[in-house]
Amino acid sequence: MPLDPDKLYALPFPEIRHAYTWRDTVVYGLGLGFGLDPTDERQLRFVDETKLVATPTMANVLAYPGFWMRDLDTGIDWVKVVHGEQAMRVHRPIPPEGDVVGRTRIVDIVDKGPGKGALVFAEREISDAATGETLATLLQTVFCRGDGGFGGSSTSPRTPHPLPDREPDLSLDMPTHPQMALVYRLSGDFNPLHSDPAVARKAGYDRPILHGLATYGVAGHALLAGLCDYAPERLTFMDGRFSSPVFPGETITVDIWREGAGQAAFRARIKARDVVVLTNGRCEFAS
């Protein structure tokens, strides 16, 4: 049955209430590799409860609606979906503990044509449960490989941010550890592709891969280090397109190009395999 865009636009996402503690914030930080250098005081702020701050990318795991493409009545062939892009706008610093509400809605659908799939754009707003203040707005692009050809618009509302045709201004090597996916999954994504070798082999990988949003978070760590002097309130926007998986234990190199006041382009790659894993990145930060 063809994908029904009217049905998707009207999809009733349940409102998600999420109370989290300092332990959740520490687990999230450890799942991105903060603290791999246990003498770096700047990193320890993200994993030590006595002086704890949350990294901005933690917004991506708050009030998470789960695998909604499968769990809700979407009509999407969820077996063939791929997380294509992720954008994050942080309106105010993420508290290291709190009670938040997540509200998700479909904001755009693009028909790439028969046999070419579709793009579904889901927006999630995270707000403080007590005050109603918006903390972050997230945009997830889902590539539905089995759902093109329903007669919808073929024009995407988003244009990939071009990377400069010059050497990066800054490149940071961000090591991951072999257990990283096993730690990161404790933040709410329990897809066995990231923990079960047998499932990974069925998907065509010789071992479990790192979560895409963990790669995104590692890139965010690099942006904090390279552009914001580890001040989380300075990183206000981040956008990127997933292009290849990372295996836990690999070193992710994040290339950064400054593009005027408070803006930069970035990509993430694995030098050892000569592959780009996150591309067309753009961020905004306070000076």
The answer to whether residues 70 and 252 touch, using CB atoms and an 8 Å cutoff, is no
What is the reported pLDDT for 1?
58
Taking only the tens of pLDDT, the chain with its 287 residues reads: 578 999 999 999 999 999 999 999 999 999 999 999 999 999 999 999 999 999 999 999 999 998 898 899 999 988 888 899 999 999 999 999 999 999 999 999 999 999 899 999 999 999 999 999 999 999 999 999 889 999 888 888 889 999 999 999 999 999 999 999 999 999 999 889 999 999 999 888 999 999 999 999 999 999 999 999 999 999 999 999 999 999 999 999 999 999 989 999 999 999 999 999 999 999 999 98
What is the spatial distance between Cα 115 and Cα 128, in angstroms, rounded to a whole number? 42
Q: Kindly give the interhelix angle for 22-31 and 212-227, rounded to the nearest 10 degrees.
A: 90
Domains of the chain: 5-144 (3.10.129.10), 170-285 (3.10.129.10)
Catalytic residue among 24, 108, 111, 194: 194
pTM for this predicted structure: 0.95
First to last CA, the chain: 51
Judge whether 37 counts as a catalytic residue. Answer: no
Which one of the listed residues 108, 111, 147, 189 is annotated catalytic?
Answer: 189
Alpha carbons 22 and 48: distance in angstroms, whole number: 9
Q: Is 194 a catalytic residue?
A: yes
Q: What token pair was written down for 189?
A: 């994504």
DSSP, collapsed to helix, strand or coil, labels residue 229 as coil
Reference 183, options 26, 27, 22; nearest CA is 27
Q: What secondary structure does DSSP assign to 56-115, as a single string?
A: GGGGGGTT---SHHHHS-----GGGEEEEEEEEEESSPPPSSEEEEEEEEEEEEEEEETT
Q: Are 161 and 281 in contact (CB under 8 A)?
A: yes
| Contact assessment for residue 131 and residue 101, using Cβ atoms and an 8 Å cutoff | no
User: Tens digit of pLDDT for each residue in 169-202?
Assistant: 999 999 999 999 999 999 999 889 999 999 999 8
Q: Can you tell me the distance from the alpha carbon of 191 to that of 193, in angstroms, rounded to the nearest whole number? A: 5
Burial class from Cβ neighbours inside 10 Å (0-12, 13-18, 19+) for residue 36 reads middle
Bridge-based pairing of strands 98-113 and 16-20 is antiparallel
